[in-house]
Structure 1
């Protein structure tokens, strides 16, 4: 299991559970294909040197420290999911460094001395555009060998390795795609379906009366739900993976001004699962939310949505 350590600047080397290691740096929100390229390069270095692989990441999101951001800020991968994904890539331990004003103001030479060397980095790997320390100085990967002074190896993973279709994979672009409902683009950039999690809670039970019973999911506000619409999904629930279709919306056919809810109609499933923790894989966008003229029109559309969802599963 991947070890997780929360650390704060200034680091206390007497309390740090560290030993010589290879260190990959980055925020890694989404652990998308670009991030995976960095981790794979770091893993190659770790194997070559016979050392464990560690990741140095940050909390909170760096943008919140450097400028005003809309709140709440929503992650593609909350920390627990991020650590699990990094573990699957061979990461032995993750250091979560509290990004504060004092840390962000460090000259890059001091960042090397007071962070990287205290973590006993023998090789440091990051994307070519990764920044560290005080940003108005040359705190980039191009200058890191100068600050390292041959005390550790430096590898900057170049843009070509972080790109698909000649475009650099970026977490912000994935967030924009999700906000517009483009879960297919998100899946392409992540190398897997976007996933959210939550608990099954009570809803209005209206779906059951329509012949399309749903589970209602309460999702933590820190997670990035796709935009309003209807989607093909699969749900990890009670040790099973169940196919279904999901609606993110305000249920405008029956009432205006409702809060956004997540309702999922599971195929070939009819059990009471209130309180269960579930993971939802967002596979494909079907359509936007529509205010239908009544229940009959909604039912006819739901039948079409189900057919289209089953066709998706058959093709994929």
Structure 2
């Protein structure tokens, strides 16, 4: 899913409690113990999609997968991941029972007809009793703005542009809630970036991206221009000579996602913005891990590796490797996967 995936995973790591509380039945006592981090990550490095919990005092594991759409390969991916996760948990506690695991596919777009509440990957022979796995489906794009706001967290507010009843008036209130609910300027920038990335998906054809950009710019006074993925899009639109007065008056820059028929210049501009946004997110993660910002050489290595092996793989390495091991990895020649 590119930008959407890395942005949402980054926010989920910031606010795991908010992620969990919306996906665990109401009324349960929940304690978040942390993300699964296991030696099996050398085989499957994305086990940070799973959280260790205690629900009513009992150990549980919650696996969350963000999906652009509920495509045919999603059940296969969830089943495969579940196997790696089960193996990781079993190796960590030899002789101990593996905690019950629940998988949830958070779906961002798809058909207008209501998606099922559960999905499955069947592995049994035809005509035999079921074996395989079931997973829950949380089709956030089929929910209303009110339902997403009722989840009680700025994390879930970023999904409101996907809602079937999203309007400019409703999103103006959402922007104000994010402004009030974010704890730092940095977090606000990340939340607004996710909000606008969700608006580019636009599963219902609301076409609210331009208005949403104006709302955020009005509220934050230039924050968008300092946010790489959005600022680059605005700058590129201006370079193309498109007439644009004050952002609050009129935004004529065609700030769309990658669509067929866009000119090469537009694609290059958006790609530069996306790459800078990815580098910024990964740079912040590096800083949290090592307690300092990456050097210019390290920043260059992070971006080159994101291009060569994918931003999610680089994010996984930043989470897996410690201290000097991470510094050495960034200094090594890049080996495409």
TM-score by length of 2: 0.25
Larger radius of gyration: 1
TM-score by length of 1: 0.26
- Pick 1 or 2: higher relative contact order, CA cutoff 8 A, min separation 6: 1
The structure carrying a bigger strand percent of its residues is: 1
The structure carrying a bigger helix percent of its residues is: 2
